[in-house]
Structure 1
């Protein structure tokens, strides 16, 4: 939930060998970008990573990180060379156990040339040895590594991996993870998934974490510091681990009062989105000075500032909703961000109904009425907002408004079948806004192109007649916003201040 800047990049053109069968084509370099229209230099072409094994050692006092990353990879073309996205200093690269040559290019590219070309369909391993000080590294003028008084945190969107492990950094390439981190005794290392084991030797403790379901690179997280940790289980039996920096000060009580309801919220969300998709749950609040939160898979990141005005379960609802919408089903391209943020914001509206603090319909009325026609809010198109507006408030609020319009058009029975059926249909994969529209038309039996165009793609406020058609014009204007609005609005800064 998050704010980004426009990042320059050049997408390499592909050569079409129409006269030569693919099997006879000469090996060629994988593209230095995966093809995302917003971020052409992000991710890479020519291969697919299936697993990351990260073995790390981190010194909080100096912010020094040393690591060996082993990637299990499948070639998707005959590869002479390929790129990884990475920023730290590399000392050695091996492909299938053999030393490979490497160099850097652009802002964040590690270019690797194996000793022998890799045929399409081949499964191969890449081992990268590296070290560096993540907080000293910047790309495009920003960093996604957050230095804390007792360590450091990797959490950002759409990019965070470059600062701590080499990767194919785009949601189209999901993988499973083993993350093993050695830190000084008395310090903890928090990551995604389940804690498999810990061991101590000679003043160092190693934490071994495992994520056994496909995970996008930006959803992988690492937090090292001194934490108070609580554990438990949901009613459905999912283990919960929450971690709170020992330096939260005045934010500590409100943070705990919010995150300790994680299990309750997750169980509640299953009624709308289907079974919880992972085998671990929780959240963490490190001692950062950032202002946002992030849906890092199974264990969301929360800034202390989320709780500056007291407890806020609404932000927990938002991040946990992303475990289905954003994590289980991820964007095919970053222009499809509404699939993530519109639905997570709508989950907050449903929570408001659950808490008796305002219905989704009342919240939709408020959003529509509170932004006049000349408000720049309406210039942002949630269905394709552009990289400069990818995390604009309109993607969230106007995005949720579009969902209420859809709910009113197709009726509750079909709408809630959509909310539950969509994550099941595209589980552990990727999808687009167009995919969702087609799915909604399939389930409802109604043509919905005009509705989606009006509420997601027109750069202007939908007319009064369109609002009446979508049942979004109240009979009388309320004198005050719904009770939940203040809490929901307080989560808006989870989308700002990323860089």
Structure 2
């Protein structure tokens, strides 16, 4: 070994060099998208979020939102820079306590450059201070922030977070949440999970909500307005929180007659899907003009228009079924939407059977016979429908047909074991259509590649033989419409405008 003498100045320079990681050149910006082929710039690369802490203040009169978001994450690569998805005006960003540089790019990217690069595996605390008027912001030509006469609502799919909190906006990065919102006295703030506290001071009231289970960003919701809130507990012990705008008018009675059955319906669904996975359940009906409902985790969003023709328990069943299929087990990528919508639709079919208004097979027969072979309905592949057809009716109805075909193939014992076992197998995680097929094969002991290909991926109407029932050979004119069909069809736009 040869000892090398270093002059004092050179030693200082060498010490400085040693302070810079040898792999500094390997530090790279995180990708501006998480890698979903349907939405290339949704989500971000380079880190994984574990918790969002949101402290907000909202003025309904002006639609001004002020907030401080604290995002807890862990880096998944050596990072020189990373993005959050966000639209409002940012005044300051800190990373691990130090001020960070920031800029905006693209449609909804907040680029953050920390004072020092971040090694892979580093716990990171990001604090973003911001304010703005969400209704004035748009991306890709649209907004998902819905103003109401007495406040606003954030609830949409596949994106909604950008208008009220900075996030890694993709279902594959789930996190827990604390959402604390200050609003003028007399106004309420509704969000996911359980209400931890309320406090009032100088004309303002703060509501603090907590979501303890991992939650996808699009399932986070915020509703601000004047609500009549009802609370209770299902027979099975699940706390129920429902909220109704005081301005629902003629829709008020039908909305309450439907949503107030949430406790009963969630208990009923546990018989098919297993124990309810969260610590509260409920829904809210704000004074909006939208036409859809959304399975926002634990606190379902319903448009008043869902109840324009009277009560509709079927839509409540649909959204509650999502608490297992979509919320507890979330999709890996947006192409896996069938796991959400096919099974939520099938839950409506099960409810129809329970109510004596048409069996699942009768509904399958009717859907199959109602669409001739040349109907574009059959050109949409529910197993990978593409972003333009993500919420096409075929994803729901052909998707439910696929579920019935699976039931016919494996038999009731295996089918109901799959239905209940799936949420347990991937609890609080993410899974794909391929994962579901593998699980169904494991439980049933049958190869299912051909069945899944036929019903979920082929752009054509499956042959009668594939449907495994002679009754499907009948035409729509000879297949009677199940009594439940109109109520089920009324939910066809649950995720549409």
Q: Which residue of 2 aligns with 1:220?
A: 220
Q: Which residue of 1 aligns with 2:402?
A: 402
Q: Which residue of 2 aligns with 1:360?
A: 360
Tell me, yes or no, if the aligned pair for 2:369 and 2:479 is still in contact at 8 Å: no
Q: TM-score, normalised by structure 2?
A: 0.94
Deviation by residue 1:139-181 (Cα, 9 ceiling, x = unmatched): 0000010010000000000000000000000001000000000
Looking at structure 2, the residues matched to 127 and 200 of structure 1 have their Cα atoms a distance apart, in angstroms, of: 25
Q: Any idea what SS the aligned residue of 2:404 has?
A: helix
Q: Any idea what SS the aligned residue of 2:408 has?
A: helix
* 1:230 to partner: Cα distance: 0.6
Deviation by residue 1:33-78 (Cα, 9 ceiling, x = unmatched): 0000100000000000100000000000010000000011101111
Q: Which residue of 2 aligns with 1:345?
A: 345
Q: Which residue of 2 aligns with 1:18?
A: none
Q: Any idea what SS the aligned residue of 1:211 has?
A: strand
Distance 1:470 1:406, change over 3 A: farther
* 1:491 to partner: Cα distance: 0.5
Deviation by residue 1:376-411 (Cα, 9 ceiling, x = unmatched): 111100000000000000000000000001100100
Q: Which residue of 2 aligns with 1:95?
A: 95
Tell me, yes or no, if the aligned pair for 1:408 and 1:471 is still in contact at 8 Å: no
Q: Within 5 Å, give how 1:475-494 maps onto structure 2.
A: 478=478, 480-494=480-494
C-alpha RMSD over aligned residues: 1.4
Deviation by residue 1:186-231 (Cα, 9 ceiling, x = unmatched): 0000000000000000000000000001000000000000001111
Q: Which residue of 2 aligns with 1:256?
A: 256
Q: Which residue of 1 aligns with 2:132?
A: 132
Q: Within 5 Å, give how 1:95-244 maps onto structure 2.
A: 95-244=95-244
Q: Unpaired segments of 5 or more residues in structure 2?
A: 1-21
Looking at structure 2, the residues matched to 379 and 310 of structure 1 have their Cα atoms a distance apart, in angstroms, of: 33
Tell me, yes or no, if the aligned pair for 2:88 and 2:133 is still in contact at 8 Å: yes
Q: Any idea what SS the aligned residue of 1:65 has?
A: strand
Deviation by residue 1:309-358 (Cα, 9 ceiling, x = unmatched): 00000000000000000000000000000010000000000000111100
Looking at structure 2, the residues matched to 351 and 302 of structure 1 have their Cα atoms a distance apart, in angstroms, of: 19
Q: Any idea what SS the aligned residue of 1:492 has?
A: coil
Q: Any idea what SS the aligned residue of 2:491 has?
A: helix
* 1:495 to partner: Cα distance: 2.5
Q: Unpaired segments of 5 or more residues in structure 1?
A: 1-21
Deviation by residue 1:224-270 (Cα, 9 ceiling, x = unmatched): 00001111001121111100000100000000000000000000000
Q: Within 5 Å, give how 1:326-345 maps onto structure 2.
A: 326-345=326-345
Tell me, yes or no, if the aligned pair for 2:48 and 2:76 is still in contact at 8 Å: yes
* 1:466 to partner: Cα distance: 2.0
Q: Any idea what SS the aligned residue of 1:486 has?
A: helix
Tell me, yes or no, if the aligned pair for 1:364 and 1:472 is still in contact at 8 Å: no
Q: Any idea what SS the aligned residue of 1:58 has?
A: strand
- 303-312 or 453-462, which moves further after superposition? 453-462
Looking at structure 2, the residues matched to 442 and 472 of structure 1 have their Cα atoms a distance apart, in angstroms, of: 30
Q: Which residue of 1 aligns with 2:268?
A: 268
Looking at structure 1, the residues matched to 165 and 470 of structure 2 have their Cα atoms a distance apart, in angstroms, of: 49
Q: Which residue of 1 aligns with 2:10?
A: none
Looking at structure 1, the residues matched to 91 and 440 of structure 2 have their Cα atoms a distance apart, in angstroms, of: 51
Distance 1:74 1:411, change over 3 A: same
Distance 1:23 1:403, change over 3 A: farther
Q: Which residue of 1 aligns with 2:420?
A: 420
Deviation by residue 1:404-440 (Cα, 9 ceiling, x = unmatched): 0110010000000000110000011111001111111
* 1:471 to partner: Cα distance: 6.1
Q: Any idea what SS the aligned residue of 2:494 has?
A: helix
Looking at structure 1, the residues matched to 374 and 229 of structure 2 have their Cα atoms a distance apart, in angstroms, of: 48
Q: Which residue of 2 aligns with 1:383?
A: 383
Tell me, yes or no, if the aligned pair for 1:393 and 1:495 is still in contact at 8 Å: no
Tell me, yes or no, if the aligned pair for 2:176 and 2:211 is still in contact at 8 Å: yes
Q: Within 5 Å, give how 1:5-44 maps onto structure 2.
A: 26-44=26-44
Looking at structure 1, the residues matched to 457 and 278 of structure 2 have their Cα atoms a distance apart, in angstroms, of: 33
Structure with more contact order per residue of length (Cα contacts < 8 Å, sep ≥ 6): 1
Tell me, yes or no, if the aligned pair for 1:219 and 1:297 is still in contact at 8 Å: yes
Q: Any idea what SS the aligned residue of 1:210 has?
A: strand
Asked if 1:473 is matched to 2:497, the reply is no
Q: Which residue of 2 aligns with 1:302?
A: 302
Q: Any idea what SS the aligned residue of 1:324 has?
A: coil
Tell me, yes or no, if the aligned pair for 1:382 and 1:398 is still in contact at 8 Å: yes
Looking at structure 1, the residues matched to 424 and 260 of structure 2 have their Cα atoms a distance apart, in angstroms, of: 27
Q: Which residue of 2 aligns with 1:442?
A: 442
Looking at structure 2, the residues matched to 458 and 43 of structure 1 have their Cα atoms a distance apart, in angstroms, of: 30
Looking at structure 1, the residues matched to 38 and 23 of structure 2 have their Cα atoms a distance apart, in angstroms, of: 32
Q: Any idea what SS the aligned residue of 2:142 has?
A: coil
Q: Which residue of 2 aligns with 1:317?
A: 317
Distance 1:441 1:483, change over 3 A: same
* 1:473 to partner: Cα distance: 1.9
Tell me, yes or no, if the aligned pair for 2:176 and 2:213 is still in contact at 8 Å: yes
Q: Which residue of 2 aligns with 1:19?
A: none
Tell me, yes or no, if the aligned pair for 1:361 and 1:472 is still in contact at 8 Å: no
Deviation by residue 1:98-136 (Cα, 9 ceiling, x = unmatched): 100000000000000000011111101000000000011
